[in-house]
Amino acid sequence: MIYPTILCGGSGTRLWPLSRQSYPKQFVPLLGDETLFQAAARRLTGPGFAAPLVLTNSDFRFIVTEQLQAAGVEPGAILIEPQGRNTAPAVLAAALTVAARDPAGVVLVAPSDHVIPDAEAFRAAVARGLAAVEAGDIVTFGITPDHPETGYGYLELAAAPEASGAPVKLARFVEKPARTAAEEMLAAGNFLWNAGIFLFRAADMIAAFETHAPELSAAVRAAVDEAVPDLGFLRLAPGPWAKAPDISVDYAVMERAENLSVVPFSAHWSDLGGWGAVLSEGARDARGVGTFGAATAIDCTDSLLRSESEGVELVGIGLENIVAVAMNDAVLVADARRTQDVKKAVDALKAKGAKQATQFPKDHRPWGWFETLALGPRFQVKRIVVAPGAALSLQSHHHRSEHWIVVQGTAEVTIDDKIQLVTENQSVYIPLGAVHRMKNPGKLPMVLIEVQTGAYLGEDDIIRYEDVYSRGQGAKG
């Protein structure tokens, strides 16, 4: 049995402003209605595959369950990382979790943000790697290069890959090369792009960590042993986890191990690492222009125009090699040849304290989402959407009062000891300090406008008394 493991804790800053720390690219529908995470989950299902194991962080845990449910995929387990520690601790945590259930279990670790349109071809490549795994090898997957890419690491094979796609022994890992080196590796024929996908027996990976990274092994083992169930999640113990080095699995184990093989993969693949890749992967017209949403291109060539807000019309005139992405709180305009530098823009925004650097306009919660429509001194206006049957926590605020106006559906509102139904075009006032809650008792999303007034309007001004999602205190809990 193969136990697929999906890693989905990254921030995807190179696709800012659509991908941000609070809502990264794997959860965003970049190339259609399905998100990259949903596509990855469906790709890792089928005969011979167990239900997928997911590693994520606390803020994303309900997004993960919501998107898996929408994709029709039932997770095997969802592990919550107390903090990001790179891929090595995550991979080992997955191996330990699988080994506890199935000592002979085979683990397939994959990122959640790759584009692999031919799922059958990928599953066939996985099947080709099983013989090497049963022989005790750790298998990684290499993408057959079609151009001298400088943005990927490479895998040097001990021999040129065979037409059958059979596993080949790995000679060495190669860091992201300069252009000349990339051209030489492409011509050599025995270099593949490193996809960061791994197949191994759980026991073999655990042994590799104990040999090559014993300090990390001890910390992660303790974090898994002391993990605590929380609703449908498993929270890794924060104390031991914090002691694990922040290191990639390549550096911690792969570059030191000798039992490594590579399965070549020649079907289409992209890590969607920047807006240039989105332009290449998406639909384009005869002039190489891709548009999305309320975007209009006039006499443009080789450009991408995306409006991610219904109320923002994006128009490009005479553009060439330009990426323009407009949201209601931020706009990116960049030379298409420099989209890898978007991360520098995020760093610059962080340095000036701009919330747009990390915060997505829509704040997703387990009960639905909200967005700020207007914000000024001592007031804030929000649109709040509550999913059918969902309820916010029973809470109060120290610094603000609230007015709720229902614009769609019906809200069941609790204010101190009073419960009432508030329907469309009706409103209710929540005094400062009142214990309150709203619930959607209907079968369709409920939408309301919230007007906050007070001296402090931060999301951390929440005291929770009851919560069906067991989130605890704090902005998101």
CATH classification at residue 15? 3.90.550.10
Say yes or no: 411 and 308 in one domain.
no
Name the token pair of 354.
Answer: 């701009």
Say yes or no: 61 and 173 in one domain.
yes
Let me know: does 350 contact 358? Beta carbons within 8 Å: yes
d(CA 63, CA 243): 27
Q: Which residues pair with 386 in a beta bridge?
A: 368, 446
Picking from 265, 294, 328, the residue at the C-terminal end of a domain is 265
Q: If we measure between CA atoms, which residue out of 69, 93, 75, 74 comes closest to residue 83?
A: 93
Residue 476 belongs to a domain: no
Let me know: does 226 contact 237? Beta carbons within 8 Å: yes
Residue 244 belongs to a domain: yes
Residue 475 has pLDDT above 70, yes or no: no
Confidence bin at 11 (pLDDT 50/70/90): confident
Q: If we measure between CA atoms, which residue out of 183, 135, 193 comes closest to residue 161?
A: 193
Say yes or no: 340 and 372 in one domain.
no
Say yes or no: 89 and 14 in one domain.
yes
Say yes or no: 261 and 325 in one domain.
no
Say yes or no: 172 and 43 in one domain.
yes
Residue 382 belongs to a domain: yes
Residue 253 belongs to a domain: yes
pLDDT tens profile 378-389: 999 999 999 999
Say yes or no: 303 and 427 in one domain.
no
Domain count for the chain: 3
pLDDT tens profile 114-152: 999 999 999 999 999 999 999 999 999 999 999 999 889
∠ CA(38), CA(93), CA(274), 5° rounding?
Answer: 40
pLDDT tens profile 283-319: 999 999 999 999 999 999 999 999 999 889 999 999 9
Picking from 265, 285, 306, the residue at the C-terminal end of a domain is 265
Say yes or no: 251 and 183 in one domain.
yes
Q: Read off the CATH number of the domain in which 375 is found.
A: 2.60.120.10
Q: What is the pLDDT of residue 310?
A: 84
Say yes or no: 335 and 416 in one domain.
no
Residue 466 has pLDDT above 80, yes or no: yes
Say yes or no: 162 and 306 in one domain.
no
Name the token pair of 298.
Answer: 């006039």
Name the token pair of 27.
Answer: 């959860």
Structural domain that includes position 143: 2-265
* Long-range own/partner contacts, residues 149-154 (CB < 8 A, 24 or more apart): 149/182, 149/193, 150/176, 150/177, 150/178, 150/179, 150/182, 151/176, 151/273, 151/274, 151/340, 152/176, 152/193, 152/194, 152/271, 153/193, 153/194, 153/250, 154/182, 154/185, 154/191, 154/192, 154/193, 154/194
Q: What is the pLDDT of residue 465?
A: 95
Q: What is the pLDDT of residue 334?
A: 97
Say yes or no: 240 and 135 in one domain.
yes
pLDDT tens profile 328-371: 999 999 999 999 899 999 999 999 999 999 999 999 999 999 99
Confidence bin at 477 (pLDDT 50/70/90): low
Taking residues 403-427, report their average pLDDT: 97
Q: What is the pLDDT of residue 470?
A: 86
Residue 477 belongs to a domain: no
Taking residues 66-91, report their average pLDDT: 94
Residue 52 has pLDDT above 70, yes or no: yes
Mean residue pLDDT across the chain: 95
Residue 475 belongs to a domain: no
Residue 50 belongs to a domain: yes
Say yes or no: 150 and 29 in one domain.
yes
Q: Model pTM? A: 0.89
Let me know: does 185 contact 160? Beta carbons within 8 Å: no
Confidence bin at 476 (pLDDT 50/70/90): low
Q: What is the pLDDT of residue 321?
A: 97
Q: What is the pLDDT of residue 176?
A: 93
pLDDT tens profile 153-202: 999 999 999 889 999 999 999 999 999 999 999 999 999 999 999 999 99
